Amino acid sequence: MKTLVLLLFSVMAGAQSPPSLNHSLVIIGDSLTEGYGVSAEEAFPAQLQKIFNKNGNNWKVISEGISGSTSASAPSRVRWTLKKPPQMVILALGANDGLRGIEASATEKNLDQALALLTEAHVKVILAGMKMPPNYQGRNKDQFEKIYPRLAKKYHIQLIPFLLKDVAGISSLNQKDGIHPNAKGHAIIAKNIYKYLQPNL
């Protein structure tokens, strides 16, 4: 009789305490994601992980930032990521395309292919938008900044309008090059990203 009671108690306890889920979020990006010029702990992926932990979100943030990457690497990097599909991906590429003057149509084609792969794999994806610096003018700048909302609409995915919102152009939040955020800038990026992630967690 005692054995039966203990068995029932164990079953009930197990029902009340389901095993915790282990979700993974991969951020595919460039030097902004990698955290150029700051420590790994100060880069926004690590700071985002801290926000998750603080709020009890059982998600593991995996940074796949590679300095110098352009959108041309997006399809192949997505294929690599899909070898062990995560629950969610933030695609944060294109900044170097803009800085190097790569044709907007080429950038859009590369990102489109990457998003198609993620969609076909049924991986939830969030697209991080980019903008070219104010001193860059011309037709390519205008076309470049239209890429992200257009692709987000095409694939019906969440768009972060500008990854560097509230950071770009503010000297106190950036390193001497004026392009890469410092630790304070990365903290703001992490907080902004979390706002867009909350409905998807």
DSSP for 149-193, written as a single string: HHHHHHHT-EEES-TTTTTTT-GGGB-TTSSSB-HHHHHHHHHHH
Please say whether the beta carbons of 194 and 51 come within 8 A.
yes
Can 156 be counted among the known catalytic residues? no
In 75-153, the DSSP E strands lie at 88-92, 124-128
The catalytically annotated residue of 63, 73, 180, 186 is 180
| Calpha distance 180→113 (Å, rounded) | 27
The catalytically annotated residue of 31, 63, 69, 71 is 31
Can 177 be counted among the known catalytic residues? yes
DSSP H or E stretch at residue 23 = strand 23-29
| Calpha distance 132→130 (Å, rounded) | 7
Can 76 be counted among the known catalytic residues? no
Only one residue has tokens 């969440």, namely: 158
Residues taking part in catalysis? 31, 177, 180
